[in-house]
Structure 1
Amino acid sequence: MGTTVTARASERVVGVADLKVSNVAGERLITYALGSCLGIVVHDPVANVAGMLHVMLPTGTIDPAKMADKPAMFVDSGVPLLFKECYKLGAKKERMQVKVAGGAHAGAREEDDRFQIGKRNMIALRKLLWKNGVMVHAHDTGGVQTSRTMWVEVTSGEVTLKINGAESKL
């Protein structure tokens, strides 16, 4: 007789060159249009803290002013900032799980991608994490230029990808 409405989690959109962190139960962090960009999720399952970063480029060292103005644009400045913001909410590095999506190459074949931004983004991320004793727990990266949507449920840390209309867990 009555209509049942399922409550949807509160969503916060992480734009390009942006990051968000949360410890709000039931909240979801989401980012869209991950091509060569990387969507990076960190989650501390004990503190129930999650963070998401949408980076465009591997390094900002060639443009220090841009790096200072938009640190979330670059792997080398955005990732440390993401971790620091999560620490402010009680997360601990040794408990953090890292999941990554994006890093596609432009064009139909990898060899057609002259600048290889997606590949360079992933190399920069792995190098930075390795230097800091952190590993990537799961990833869906590379491949042909495709648009990935990525979201994380803050409380559970469950990461979902939507690619060409199909959803899968990461």
Structure 2
Amino acid sequence: MGRIIQVGMADLKLAKAPDKLITAGLGSCIGICIYDRSLKLGCLAHIMLPSSQNAKNNQNRAKFADSAIELVLEEMEKQGARRSRLLAKIAGGAQMFKFSGESDIMKIGQRNAVAVEENLEKHKISLVAKDVGGNYGRTITFAPESGELLIRTIGHGERII
């Protein structure tokens, strides 16, 4: 059957099939699933912010898109994964609140999604599926065995990407 491994905010965990990874409460945050199909090894990172570069406290590498992806790659390679085989799926990046004005600084979900995609591209990791944006939260469950990402929402149903 396998275990269900909980991933918190600003956290990341690895799992090998038949175990699964789950994270709840993805609003503007992004869940990044990177996996090696041949090893049936996957990692889920729950990132909160786009970049560690300007953060006063950037000690938690899992909190930021740039440093979380680097950390995921390091941890997966320790388990025998090869970058050339890695694939990614992402979900989240919602605009949970309405703000007056058009300032991009408040569009954290959108900024997170862009940062994740740019960092995946930088590391030559293929993004094979995504479910980002909107104004609703998501809970995701990732199965390294199949590469399926189950996305559950309130009011928008569930789907697998």
TM-score by length of 1: 0.86
Confirm whether residue 33 of structure 1 aligns to residue 25 of structure 2: yes
State the Cα deviation string for residues 47-86 of structure 1 (Å, max 9, x = none).
111000000000122235x212x11000111111011111
Q: Does 1:11 align with 2:25?
A: no
Counterpart CA distance in 2 for 1:131 and 1:10 is: 32
Answering whether residue 81 of structure 2 is matched by residue 98 of structure 1, we say no
2:36 counterpart residue number: 44
Map residues 76-115 of structure 1 onto 2, 5 A cutoff: 76-107=66-97, 115=106
Match for 2:13: what amino acid? K
Query: What is the SS of the residue equivalent to 1:143?
Result: coil
* Pair 1:148-2:134 in alignment: no
Q: Which of the pair has more CA radius of gyration?
A: 1
- Unmatched 5+ stretches in structure 2: none
Runs of 4+ in 1 over 4 A off after TM superposition: 108-114
Alignment check: 8 A CA contact 1:106 1:116 kept:
no
Secondary structure of 2:50's partner? Answer: coil
The superposition leaves residues 74-109 of structure 1 with CA deviations (integer Å, 9 ceiling, x where unpaired) of 011111101111111111111111000000113358
1:79–1:73 CA distance, 2 compared to 1 (3 A): same
Residue identity matched to 1:126? E
**Structure 1: which 5+ runs fail to align?**
1-7
Q: Which amino acid aligns with 1:10?
A: R
| TM-score (ref. length: structure 2) | 0.90
- In the alignment, is the contact (CA less than 8 A) between 2:143 and 2:149 conserved in 1? yes
Distance in 2, matches of 1:108 and 1:143, equals: 12
Q: Which amino acid aligns with 1:27?
A: D
Asked if 2 retains the 8 angstrom alpha-carbon contact of 1:37 and 1:121, the reply is yes
User: 1: distance between equivalents of 2:38 and 2:50?
Assistant: 30
RMSD in angstroms over aligned alpha carbons?
2.0
Other structure's SS at 1:39 match? strand
Determine the structure 2 residue equivalent to 1:4: none
What amino acid sits opposite 1:167 in the alignment?
E
CA distance in 1, matches of 2:34, 2:150: 13
Looking at structure 2, the residues matched to 161 and 97 of structure 1 have their Cα atoms a distance apart, in angstroms, of: 18
Name the CA distance, whole Å, in 2 between partners of 1:96 and 1:53.
Answer: 15
Moved more, 113-122 or 29-38: 113-122
